Amino acid sequence: MATFFPGVSHTFSEYLLVPGYSSSECIPANVDLKAPLVKFRRGEEPAITLNTPMVSAIMQAVSGPRLAIALAQEGGMSFIYGSQTAEDEARMIREVKSYKAGVVVSDSNLTPDMTLAEVMRLKEQTHHSAMPVTENGAPHGKLLGIVTSRDYRPSRDPQDKLVREFMTPVEKVIVAPATVNLSEANDIIWENKLNQLPIVEEDGSLVGLVFRKDYDSHKSNPNELLDASKRYVVGAGINTRDYAERVPLLVEAGADALCIDSSEGYSEWQARTLAWIRENYGDSVKVGAGNVVDAEGFRFLADAGADFVKVGIGGGSICITREQKGIGRGQASALIDVCEARDQYFEETGVYVPVCSDGGIVYDYHMTLALAMGADFLMLGRYFARFDESPSERVTVNGSYMKEYWGEGSARARNWARYDLGGDKKLSFVEGVDSYVPYAGPLRDGVQSSLLKIRSTMCNCGALTLDELKEKARLTLVSATSLVEGGAHDVVLKETNQQVLFN
Ligand code: RVP
């Protein structure tokens, strides 16, 4: 006979937090939202800790380099989508890793014999206008000069004009030695009114560039998530088919963590993928797995070596898996079950495997509920798709700004590898839709407003850290009738659009 899970399967909206005692210390400014991303042993620190417990979904409409940078600036992390060639995905990782924080390794380098036409082409590809000229055109070659858009006039200068004829030669360029720190580099930049400062070794070879804009943004992002070399932290999605080719490219490009992107993770395919990574990289490559919705699935992936486990099937806003296949589980019930299994696993083995709640978060309070139910961090798709920095188009629909948002299992994304069960390399039927979501402006404003609500609710529960929230939270199921009581009711709203949706 089949197994029947006891009780009904619940979603976030069916729960509320019951406030606990808050002392005068409990103010939003004192709340710490740090969360472990990857597993660690009792008494040790995780190799990666998020400053903000949010990661962006492994989706074409969500996680490109621009969003990854904006989210890392707010302390979270993106997983660049894997439904593209491994080379393109690695290029996006490199774009994030070379973006800033201190010295940037230049990805737009010239030789003295290149032509203006080639300079223009490179500029179009990389969108970088400051291009070092090195002896061999390599990022760390001997520096001979620099080309910026002030050095040429595309409309007047001949296209075959050589770089050596219009570059600013190194003798006239202000450079700094490799021993300079970021603050000293910034002083040089300000004193000399520069936009960028090349950093060079004693033998004249180029280390990289420090940009004025980076120092400014570094100053204004106290929460940013950086690696040991002060580059933004970024992750990458992988699948269970082409990992032997894809993983090396992503690791090479500097991905800080990988995540197997699959709609259903309790499978031999995931165990094989994890085993291959452990065989080839030991524990040096961090990799999450999923998705699962119960304790059994969690234990399987934890035993198979996952660094974190993702929870959620069918709850995503664009997901129609439950309708198409009848599989899944209410996100709250799935999360509670898996978090219990994580705690038990920790008791037994001394290894803490973080749990990520993936999909189905609509309101900011859902985030706090998920964290209170035990999630270490949250993966969000629809939430991030709404911001300026997501890769999708902003369009006007019925007079309102919208952003496009489509599922990885939709006919538009055709991410067959995410739904692969070992058959043909194709999507046999769709499990996702193509949609619009209301445009929500810059990521920073949206994330900061959500975090403020989380902090404030945590204070109502008497919790100053996420661990304390997990311990102290008191949750209650609500009846369908009391849901009505939760919104504005029995009043006539002065403006019909006062009800703030999706927030
Ligand atoms: P949401 O945040 O509710 O938009 O959900 C995002 C999640 O939905 C993703 O992280 C992924 O797990 C899932 N997803 C992505 N594509 C699809 C689909 O096409 N069914 N589902």
* 418 labelled catalytic: yes
Residue 134 and residue 141 in contact, taking contact as beta carbons nearer than 8 Å:
yes
Contact 259 CB / ligand 1 (< 6 Å):
no
pLDDT at residue number 128: 86
Q: Which residues of the chain have pLDDT under 70?
A: 100-102, 213-220, 496-503
pLDDT in tens, 377-421: 999 999 999 999 999 989 999 999 999 999 999 989 888 888 878
pLDDT at residue number 127: 82
Supply 114's token pair. Answer: 């290149």
Residue 61 and residue 405 in contact, taking contact as beta carbons nearer than 8 Å:
yes
Q: Annotated catalytic residue: which of 418, 455, 459, 461? A: 418
Return the residue matching tokens 């580099």.
185
pLDDT at residue number 106: 83
* 121 labelled catalytic: no
pLDDT in tens, 421-479: 877 777 778 899 999 999 999 999 999 999 999 999 999 999 999 999 999 999 999 99
> Whose CA is closest to 31, among 475, 470, 466?
466
pLDDT at residue number 502: 47
Return the residue matching tokens 């489509």.
406
Protein residue closest via CA to atom 21 of ligand 1: 319
Tally helices (H) and strands (E) across the chain. Answer: 16, 24
The residues that bridge with 211 in the sheet, in sequence order, are 196
Task: Give the C-alpha separation, 446 to 233, whole Å.
Answer: 20
Residue 461 and residue 372 in contact, taking contact as beta carbons nearer than 8 Å:
yes
> Whose CA is closest to 438, among 480, 404, 407, 391?
404
350 Cα–ligand 1 center, Å: 32
Return the residue matching tokens 């486990």.
309
375 Cα–ligand 1 center, Å: 17
Contact 432 CB / ligand 1 (< 6 Å):
yes
pLDDT at residue number 494: 83
pLDDT at residue number 101: 55
Supply 123's token pair. Answer: 């500029």
Q: Annotated catalytic residue: which of 26, 259, 299, 319? A: 319
Could you identify the atom of ligand 1 that is nearest to the CA of residue 317? 3
